[in-house]
Chain A
Amino acid sequence: MRKNDFRVKLPLWNIALYTILMFWAYSVVYSSDMLFTGFEGVFNEGGEFALDPFALLSFFGGLVLIIIFFFAYFIRLNRHNKNNPTSKMSAFTIFKLGEFIEFDELFSQVTQTATKKIYVFYSQILPLLVLLMFFPFNRYLFIMVIFLLLIIQNLIYYRHIRSYITN
């Protein structure tokens, strides 16, 4: 097991995707706000187009970044599957995530302890998130916080697995 193995690096790819989605979510929230308020704010009082320029940048920039991300992701995934025919990964999995390294009994145990850490993390942080939700913040903030938790989750997982790979 090498530290550059795609399965080891997968949490970093997840972090990259969540960061892009955080940026893109701004335009999605903005668009849905407009949709549910009868496109209020699309035109200003003078009848001119008045879209939030950051929302436009977020939408188109985010879309480009998502396309680039998946392009790079599939290239890396194909390379991994070509070099590791006995441990192929699929692009989208629900129950057996690609970052679960169960190559042998040590790494099965390491994966278990890493997921235990994540369990503890969510047990502690989700009640705090509920507290935050009592306040009337914009829902984009909650979306950001959820993405942030996903990023932290992947960081915890990556750091734990990496400590065994590099040891």
Chain B
Amino acid sequence: MLRNRVKELRARHGFSQSELANYVGVARQTIGFIERGEFSPSITLSLRLAKHLEVRVDQLFWLEGEDLDEEK
């Protein structure tokens, strides 16, 4: 399963789900589904999210069971 830090980083930047959705060009619901791990975004959308949340993609998404290394 794909894990992520979208919710945490979104909150850190002070974005609402709708704001982040508008920045990356998706529906608000899509952000909610990604945050809950119920939808795996494409590479394109992952890159857009990472850009707006100012992290690398591998710091935003990782596979369950693999450690997240923020210092990568």
What is A's interface to B at a CB cutoff of 8 Å?
1, 103-107, 109, 164-165, 167
Please tell me which one of the listed residues B26, B32, B41, B45 contacts residue A167 in the complex, with CB atoms under 8 A apart.
Answer: B32
Count of chain B residues with a beta carbon within 8 Å of a chain A beta carbon:
12
Interface of A is mostly: helix
Bound-state CA distance A164–B29 (Å) is 7
Question: Are B42 and A106 in contact, with the CB atoms below 8 A?
Answer: no
What is B's interface to A at a CB cutoff of 8 Å?
25-30, 32-33, 39, 41-42, 45
Q: How far is the CB of B44 from chain A (nearest CB, A)?
A: 8
Please tell me which one of the listed residues A103, A105, A165 contacts residue B42 in the complex, with CB atoms under 8 A apart.
Answer: A105
Q: How far is the CB of B35 from chain A (nearest CB, A)?
A: 12
Instruction: Find the A residue at minimum CB distance from B44.
Output: A105
Instruction: Find the B residue at minimum CB distance from A104.
Output: B26
* 27 A-B pairs whose Cβ atoms sit less than 8 Å apart in the complex: A1-B27, A1-B28, A1-B29, A103-B26, A103-B27, A104-B25, A104-B26, A104-B27, A104-B30, A105-B26, A105-B30, A105-B41, A105-B42, A105-B45, A106-B26, A106-B30, A106-B33, A106-B39, A107-B27, A107-B29, A107-B30, A164-B29, A164-B33, A165-B29, A167-B29, A167-B32, A167-B33
